Amino acid sequence: METVKAILFDTFGTVVDWRGSVAGEIERLAREKGIDDIDGDAFARAWRAGYQPGMEEVRSGRRPWTSIDVVHRERLDAIVGDFGLAGLSDGERDDLNRAWHRLDPWPDSLPGLRRLHQRFILGPLSNGSTQLLINIAKRVGLPWDVIGSSDAFRSFKPQAEMYLGAVSMLDMEPGEVMMAAAHNDDLKHAQSHGMRTAFICRPYEYGVDQVKDLEATGDWDFVVDGIDELADRLLSSGGSSFSAGK
């Protein structure tokens, strides 16, 4: 691992708990509207269920480039009625859509990232938009050095443009960049392009719906239970701090 200079993190599910964060926002909003019995967790999962199909319309070429913020908003409009929230105004929907810009990190994320930041260049490599990724980071202090977003490369993972674009953006060799993700499929694609890999197990990402990514299914460089553990593993070799001269 001596050659790894940068670590790029999948964000939704790997760094932040989208399900718990979105569920919390939904339940708060519903209470304001006098609705007491909404299942915020089910709402979050129903919202997320539109994520891959929405991106697939773009990846397939059936739809021109579309930001994930638009994909999120369209799915929101499609499901609000099922949860008794069809009366939300346009402005209320806009604000709720930005729940995806206000996701909270898993408890180990911030401590682990802060330690890794001393030695590695860090950034997200996410299907989120640049603004979404900035907003998530800035709200809680994620120590990113650079933002790897879907709209920077006008593609969505697992399209090759995302991985190759990020490596090129950093002006590094693929083996100098590690992809860290809670999703085996993401790592499989990163590895196919020559990147290093770290699987961060997040068995509660989807809650009761979670049927995959409960364990590593590939030959990854690291398999850990959190970002703090990744820091333990990567920093235990006692290497020096980040140096701009290298």
Toward a copy of itself, which CB reaches closer, 69 or 108?
69
- Contact between 102 and a copy of itself by CB under 8 A: the answer reads yes
Toward a copy of itself, which CB reaches closer, 2 or 171?
171
CB of 182 to a copy of itself, least distance (A): 23
Q: Where are the beta strands (DSSP E) in 74-141?
A: 121-124
**Residue 180: in which H helix or E strand, if any?**
strand 177-181
Toward a copy of itself, which CB reaches closer, 59 or 102?
102
* Site string (25-54) toward a copy of itself, x via CB under 8 A: ------------------------------
Please report, as residue ranges, which positions from 61 to 100 form the binding site for a copy of itself (by CB under 8 A): 67, 69, 95, 98
One-letter amino acid at 215 equals E
Which span (8-16, 48-56, 163-171, 227-235) binds a copy of itself, by CB under 8 A? Answer: 163-171
Cis peptide before 158 (omega within 30 of 0): yes
The answer to whether 196 and 179 have CB atoms below 8 angstroms apart is yes
- The bridge status of strand 222-224 relative to strand 177-181 is unpaired
CB of 185 to a copy of itself, least distance (A): 27
Identify the residue among 46, 88, 134, 235 touching a copy of itself (CB under 8 A).
Answer: 134
Identify the residue among 42, 131, 207, 233 touching a copy of itself (CB under 8 A).
Answer: 131
Place of tokens 């939704």: 12
**Phi (first) and psi of residue 124, to 5 degrees:** -80, 150
The answer to whether 121 and 170 have CB atoms below 8 angstroms apart is yes
Identify the residue among 39, 78, 83, 130 touching a copy of itself (CB under 8 A).
Answer: 130
DSSP secondary structure of 6-32: EEEE--BTTTB-HHHHHHHHHHHHHHH
- Contact between 151 and a copy of itself by CB under 8 A: the answer reads yes
- Contact between 138 and a copy of itself by CB under 8 A: the answer reads yes
Identify the residue among 22, 30, 80, 147 touching a copy of itself (CB under 8 A).
Answer: 147
The answer to whether 116 and 122 have CB atoms below 8 angstroms apart is yes
Toward a copy of itself, which CB reaches closer, 49 or 70?
70
Toward a copy of itself, which CB reaches closer, 3 or 217?
3
- Contact between 195 and a copy of itself by CB under 8 A: the answer reads no
- Contact between 129 and a copy of itself by CB under 8 A: the answer reads yes
Neighbours of 53 (CB within 10 A): 10
Cα separation, 159 vs 58, in Å, equals: 11
Q: Which of 178, 222, 219, 174 is nearest to 201 (CA)?
A: 222
Neighbours of 28 (CB within 10 A): 11
Interface positions with a copy of itself (CB under 8 A): 67, 69, 95, 98, 101-102, 121, 129-131, 134-139, 144-147, 151-152, 169-172, 242, 244-245
